[in-house]
């Protein structure tokens, strides 16, 4: 058990006096002392924070909390308890699991993107609509996050998915990406704008098809406040979004979007290889640097603006390789 109190200077003086013969020889950084009190380790920090750790931490913390209240009756004692945090975490996890279970069988639109970690190839963002009747079909196909499925499997099952599932996709090629990034739009802002575009498009489509939508789910890549702040200058902003980390593992609409995005990315990647007449490497590894160097040697450095994401660190590495 760990309990933390915030105490005043007069209580600090009492503690220093009380523990002067119980102090450990070594003191942690920024601590006044660390001492042993039976089964409790007590650490007093210069800031006035006191940490009680051990089996009897609650007893010792209660004594010093009482001391603080006696010496400073008008001041509220700040206290945190590791057990309270554990209970809160369990409660939050329970509430999340209830919400996930409910949404899994609801009519949802979910979005996800691919290509943001690849030097070559576009960014693809998709929003998909899934209702309860679609679940057995998708589960039988083995729909799950595209990162956990081979590209060969994705190329096999996605044509079956898009025949049955309604979706909206946007593709941002690297030339467009580089132009937008120059306008002080970072990656997350770009993603937010693209997610909003496909979500809005899919909501419009659902309305035309007279389909009910219980929830809109986004695989969280930014704090909700930050996400909406990225969209403050847009005319049509999709609100009331449910954000979940690793949403592609929890909801079939997001998983479908992940797979469809990957499928389209692979198709676009293949077109890029044919256009350059050379094989490309996915990701952003050293092998990617070597491939990019071959592109520069064949077409010139300016060609990278059309086929690669120039803000990646790979670009600087390629410039260094060019000097050798």
- What average pLDDT does the segment 2-14 reach? 93
Q: Which of 61-65, 125-129, 146-150 is predicted with the least confidence, judged by mean pLDDT?
A: 146-150
CB 23 within 8 A of CB 44: no
- C-beta neighbour count of 77 within 10 angstroms: 17
Q: Is residue 100 part of a domain?
A: no
The token pair at 54 is 């051990």
Q: Is residue 42 part of a domain?
A: yes
Three-state DSSP class for residue 28: coil
75 and 192 fall within a common domain? no
pLDDT at 268 over 80: yes
189 and 253 fall within a common domain? yes
Beta strand 40-45 with 123-130 is unpaired
pLDDT at 247 over 50: yes
Q: How far, in Å, CA of 251 to CA of 254, rounded? A: 6
- C-beta neighbour count of 190 within 10 angstroms: 20
293 and 179 fall within a common domain? no
What is the span of the domain harbouring residue 13?
A: 2-84
- For residue 60, the domain's CATH number is 3.30.310.10
CB 43 within 8 A of CB 50: yes
Beta strand 215-219 with 241-244 is parallel
49 and 128 fall within a common domain? no
* pLDDT given at position 83: 64
Give the domain-ending residue among 273, 290, 305. 273
Three-state DSSP class for residue 144: coil
Q: Is residue 96 part of a domain?
A: no
For residue range 82-115, what is the model confidence (pLDDT) as tens digits? 766 655 555 444 446 667 878 888 999 999 999 9
203 and 221 fall within a common domain? yes
Q: Provide the pLDDT confidence category of residue 182 given band limits of 50, 70 and 90.
A: confident
Q: Is residue 112 part of a domain?
A: yes
* pLDDT given at position 97: 66
- What average pLDDT does the segment 207-217 reach? 94
* pLDDT given at position 88: 52
- What average pLDDT does the segment 124-128 reach? 97
113 and 237 fall within a common domain? yes
Q: Which of 176, 232, 171, 166 is nearest to 204 (CA)?
A: 166
171 and 292 fall within a common domain? no
235 and 134 fall within a common domain? yes
* pLDDT given at position 165: 95
User: pLDDT > 90: what percent of the chain?
Assistant: 71
Count the domains in the chain.
3
Q: Is residue 184 part of a domain?
A: yes
171 and 51 fall within a common domain? no
180 and 317 fall within a common domain? no
CB 18 within 8 A of CB 5: no
* pLDDT given at position 96: 61
Q: Provide the pLDDT confidence category of residue 314 given band limits of 50, 70 and 90.
A: very high
Q: Provide the pLDDT confidence category of residue 1 given band limits of 50, 70 and 90.
A: confident
155 and 219 fall within a common domain? yes
CB 312 within 8 A of CB 292: no
267 and 280 fall within a common domain? no
Mean pLDDT of the chain: 90
């Amino acid at each position: 058990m760990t309990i933390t109190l915030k105490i005043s200077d007069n209580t600090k003086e009492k503690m220093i006096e009380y523990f002067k013969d119980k102090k450990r020889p070594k003191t942690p950084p920024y601590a006044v002392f660390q001492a042993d009190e039976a089964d409790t380790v007590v650490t007093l920090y210069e800031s006035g924070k006191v940490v009680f750790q051990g089996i009897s931490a609650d007893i010792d913390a209660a004594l010093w909390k009482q001391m603080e209240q006696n010496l400073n009756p008008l001041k509220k004692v700040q206290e945190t308890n590791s057990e309270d945090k554990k209970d809160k975490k369990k409660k939050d996890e329970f509430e999340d699991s209830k919400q996930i279970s409910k949404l899994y069988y609801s009519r949802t639109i979910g979005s996800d993107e691919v290509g943001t970690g690849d030097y070559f190839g576009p960014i693809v963002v998709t929003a998909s609509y899934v209702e309860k009747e679609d679940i057995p079909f998708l589960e039988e196909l083995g729909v799950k996050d595209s990162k956990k499925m081979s590209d060969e499997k994705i190329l096999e099952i996605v044509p079956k998915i898009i025949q049955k599932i309604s979706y909206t996709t946007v593709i941002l090629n690297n030339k467009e990406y580089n132009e937008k990034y120059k306008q002080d739009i970072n990656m997350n802002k770009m993603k937010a704008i693209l997610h909003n575009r496909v979500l809005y498009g899919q909501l419009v489509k659902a309305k035309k098809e007279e389909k009910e939508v219980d929830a809109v789910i986004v695989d969280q890549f930014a704090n909700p406040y930050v996400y909406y702040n990225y969209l403050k200058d847009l005319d049509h902003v999709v609100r009331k979004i449910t954000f979940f980390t690793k949403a592609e593992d929890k909801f079939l609409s997001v998983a479908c979007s992940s797979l469809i995005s990957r499928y389209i990315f692979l198709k676009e990647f293949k077109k890029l290889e044919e256009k350059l007449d050379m094989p490309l490497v996915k990701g952003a590894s050293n092998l990617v640097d070597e491939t990019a160097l071959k592109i520069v040697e064949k077409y010139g450095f300016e060609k990278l603006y059309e086929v690669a994401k120039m803000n990646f660190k790979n670009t600087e590495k390629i410039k260094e390789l060019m000097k050798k």
